[in-house]
């Protein structure tokens, strides 16, 4: 029995849900999302809740997955998701210009990062970014792409990191003894 798949999804008043055989469309104050359903899993509306049902035990691997994806879509269009990032390093900074973010990350040139549709990025104090959007997977992917521009250095701890991320600091090269 899937414990996650059997939990009902409460649908808030502000959110409209349209269920078809192949997808669930969710619309709310933060936007619209469509979740494609895997084969063997369907959704039914029971009062104020959505319930995931599977057609047989061979689909049990997808039962909890489909329920989690639809629950994330409902949460996303109602409240949205956000991730915060910090830029650490002397001279490292970011600024938003239109639909692109301009990063100064110690390279010989500034790095331009286009902001995808459905995502909003704000920059506070030039070193703190907030990535917001309705789609949880897209927010996580954009955050990972930004972090990939200058991953945190394990020796100096410089780079772009997710706020609250714990980094392992490596010891530097130990001095060699003379005559060794």
Give the residue carrying structure tokens 């994806």.
69
Sequence-distant (≥ 6) Cβ neighbours of residue 17 within 8 angstroms = 11, 24, 25, 26, 27, 45, 50, 74
Could you tell me which CATH class the domain 3-78 is placed in?
alpha beta
Beta strands in 16-136 (DSSP E): 16-19, 23-28, 31-36, 41-46, 49-54, 81-88, 93-97, 100-104, 111-114, 119-124, 128-133
% of the chain residues with pLDDT over 90? 60
The yes or no reply on domain 81-162 and CATH 3.40.50.10800 is no
Query: In this structure, are residues 112 and 104 in contact, taking their beta carbons and an 8 Å threshold?
Result: no
Residue 167, pLDDT > 90, answer no
Least confident of 42-46, 68-72, 108-112, 168-172: 168-172
Does 3-78 match 81-162 in CATH topology? yes
Query: In this structure, are residues 123 and 94 in contact, taking their beta carbons and an 8 Å threshold?
Result: yes
Distance (Å, whole) CA 7 – CA 145: 33
Query: What average pLDDT score do residues 9-36 get?
Result: 91
Query: What average pLDDT score do residues 49-70 get?
Result: 89
DSSP 3-state of 144: helix
Residue 178, pLDDT > 80, answer no
Distance (Å, whole) CA 81 – CA 76: 6
Strand order in the sheet with 49-54: 9-10, 49-54, 41-46
Sequence-distant (≥ 6) Cβ neighbours of residue 102 within 8 angstroms = 94, 95, 96, 110, 111, 112, 113
Sequence-distant (≥ 6) Cβ neighbours of residue 149 within 8 angstroms = 103, 105, 111, 113, 160
What is the pTM assigned to this prediction?
A: 0.85
The domain segmentation of the chain, as residue ranges, is 3-78, 81-162
Query: What average pLDDT score do residues 48-66 get?
Result: 88
The H helix count followed by the E strand count for the chain is 3, 13
Instruction: Name the more confident of 86 and 5.
Output: 86
């Amino acid at each position: 029995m899937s414990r996650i798949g059997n939990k009902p999804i409460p649908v808030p008043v502000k959110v409209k849900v349209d269920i078809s055989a192949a997808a669930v469309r969710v619309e709310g104050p933060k936007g619209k999302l469509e979740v494609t359903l895997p084969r063997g899993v369907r959704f039914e509306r029971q009062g104020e809740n959505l319930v995931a049902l599977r057609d047989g035990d061979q689909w049990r691997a997808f039962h909890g997955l489909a329920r989690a994806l639809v629950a994330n879509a409902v949460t996303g269009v109602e409240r949205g998701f956000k991730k915060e990032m910090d830029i650490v390093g002397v001279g490292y900074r970011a600024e938003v210009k239109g639909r692109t973010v301009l990063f100064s990350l110690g390279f010989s040139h500034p790095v331009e990062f286009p902001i995808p549709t459905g995502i909003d990025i704000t920059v506070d104090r030039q070193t703190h970014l907030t990535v917001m959007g309705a789609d949880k997977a897209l927010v996580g992917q954009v955050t990972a792409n930004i972090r990939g521009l200058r991953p945190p250095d394990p020796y100096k701890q410089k780079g772009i990191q997710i706020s609250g991320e714990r980094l392992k600091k490596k010891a530097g090269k130990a001095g060699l003894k003379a005559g060794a």
